[in-house]
Amino acid sequence: MSKPIAVLGAGMHPWGKWGRNFVEYGLAAARAALADAGLTWPDVQYVAGADTIRNGYPGFIAGATFAQALGWSGARVSSCYAACASGAQAINAARAQILAGLCDVALVVGADAAPKGFFKPVGGDRPDDPDWLRFRLLGATNPIYFALYARRRMAVHGATLDDFAAVKVKNARHGLGNPNARYRKEVTLEDVRESAVVADPLRLLDICATSDGGAALVLSSMEFARRHGVAEPVRIPALSTVTPTFPKTVLDLPDFATDSALVVDEPDRPFRSAIAHAAYEEAGIGPDELSLAEVYDLSTALELDWYEDIGLCEPGGAEELLRSGATALGGRIPVNPSGGLASFGEAIPAQAIAQVCELTWQLRGQAEGRQVDGARAGIAVNQGLFGHGSAVIAVR
C-alpha cells in the first residue's frame, strides 16, 4: 500500500451548454477548489491539467493554460491526455509529485467545451489511426459501440430494455439533488422507452450527452494538511491506471476487432475489472467496504457492466442488484449518487476529476440532497479510448 494524499479542496463549474471557452470553466472550478481548501493561488506549487483536444492549440497545453489564466506564478506544470481518463491521469501526476516530496500542494484542473452531437475525429487524414478509421470505414460513432455492449449484455446475461431504462430513472432521480448537474428532471420508464432510437437497442435517454463543464481538486501531503489544520481530510490511498492484458476478447472503443485468444489463455481479469482490482489491492480494501461508487455511465447498459467490473456482484448479477434497489440512494451501495453522466453529460477532461469531487463531498457529508448516509469509502472508475482507464479510491 502506498501513502495516501489529502484532498483539501474540490470545486466545479456546473455542466451545461454555456457557449464559452473551456478555460473559463476550469478557472471557475479552480478558484472554487482553492476557496474550499482555504488556500490562495500562490500557495500552489504544481498544476496538473487534463487536456481537451478539440479547442485548438490551447487545449493541448491545458496545464499551462490554466496556470496562465490564474496568473503566472512560477508553479511547475504538466498536461495529461488520456481520453476519458485524462482527469485521473492528471490526479496521478499530482499525486506522484506529492508522494515524491517534490511539492506539498497541487492543483488539478480539467474543463471542456464539447461540440453538439456525437464526437467526431480531429481533422486531417490519418489512415493508420483506428479512431479515424472507425468513422471512415464503419461510420461508427460512439453510440454504436455502446449499442454493441448493450447487445452483448442482453445476449450473455439476459438484460432487458427495461433494465437499461431503470438505470436512467435511478440516475435522473439522483441528479435532482445535484446543483452542478445539467439535467435535473425526473424520468420515467415510459420516457426512456418512448425516446428516439439512436443505436438499437439504445434510445436517446439511454445515452449521455456532450456537455461543457469544469472540475478541480486541491491535493496535498498529509503533513501539509495537518499543518493547515485539517486533521482528518478525505484521503486518496490508491489510483490505478493499468492497461489491458493480451488478449482483449471484448471489443473496446475505438477498435473494430478483438485480439485472438485461440492460442493464448484469456487473462485472469478483463480490462475494466483489472482497473478496479489494482486500486483495491493498493488501498488494501475490497468492494464490500465501499459506501458508494461513481462509474462512467456512457450508456445505461455500461453502468450495469461496471457493477460487475468493480466487484459489486458476480458476472450476470447486475440486473438483480439494480432491481433490488441496492444501487439507489438508500440502498446498500449507491452507484452514481451524483447523477452520473446521465445527468451531467460528457465534458471529457473534467469528468474523472468531477467524480472525485463527488466522492469528496460525500465522504465529508456535504452532498446535500443526495447524501449517502455514513459514507466512509468510495471508488470512481472510468474507461477511455486507446487502453486508457482509471480507478480512484477515496476514504475518510
**Among 202, 217, 154, 240, which Cα is nearest to 11's?**
217
Q: Which of 190-199, 206-215, 260-269, 355-364 has the lowest mean pLDDT?
A: 260-269
- Answer yes or no: is pLDDT of 57 > 60: no
Q: Which of 33-47, 83-97, 112-126, 217-231 has the lowest mean pLDDT?
A: 112-126
In the chain, the percentage of residues whose pLDDT exceeds 70 is 98
Quick one: DSSP state of residue 61? Answer: G
Q: What is the DSSP string of 180-219?
A: T-S------HHHHHHSPEEETTEEGGGB--B-EEEEEEEE
b/e burial code for range 266-279 (CB count within 10 A of at least 16 → b) = ebeebbbbbbbbbb
Report the alpha-carbon distance of residue 83 to residue 126 in Å, rounded: 18
Q: Which residue has the higher pLDDT, 123 or 218?
A: 218
| Strand ranges (E), 263-336 | 292-295
- Answer yes or no: is pLDDT of 317 > 80: yes
User: Sign of dihedral through CA atoms 149, 150, 155, 158?
Assistant: positive
- Answer yes or no: is pLDDT of 58 > 60: no
Q: Which of 95-104, 259-268, 328-337 has the lowest mean pLDDT?
A: 259-268
Q: Which of 54-68, 175-189, 294-308, 342-356 has the lowest mean pLDDT?
A: 54-68
Instruction: Please write the tens of the pLDDT for every residue from 255-306.
Output: 888 888 778 888 889 999 999 999 999 999 999 999 999 999 999 999 999 9
- Answer yes or no: is pLDDT of 128 > 80: yes
User: Residue 44 — pLDDT band, cuts 50, 70, 90?
Assistant: very high
pLDDT at residue 55 in the model: 55
Dig out the grid coordinates for 274 from the structure: 483489472
pLDDT at residue 17 in the model: 94
pLDDT at residue 137 in the model: 86
- Answer yes or no: is pLDDT of 347 > 90: yes
Dig out the grid coordinates for 164 from the structure: 437499461
In the chain, the percentage of residues whose pLDDT exceeds 90 is 82
Helix (H) or strand (E) holding 354: helix 348-364
How many C-beta atoms lie closer than 10 Å to residue 237's C-beta?
19
Report the alpha-carbon distance of residue 144 to residue 155 in Å, rounded: 16
Dig out the grid coordinates for 226 from the structure: 495537518
- Answer yes or no: is pLDDT of 54 > 70: no
Report the alpha-carbon distance of residue 99 to residue 1 in Å, rounded: 13
User: What domains sit in the chain, N to C, each tagged with a CATH number?
Assistant: 5-117+213-234 (3.40.47.10), 130-208+236-395 (3.40.47.10)
Instruction: Please write the tens of the pLDDT for every residue from 146-170.
Output: 999 999 999 999 999 999 999 999 9
pLDDT at residue 56 in the model: 55
Q: How far is CA 92 from CA 16, 78, 150, 274, 390, in A?
A: 27, 11, 31, 17, 10
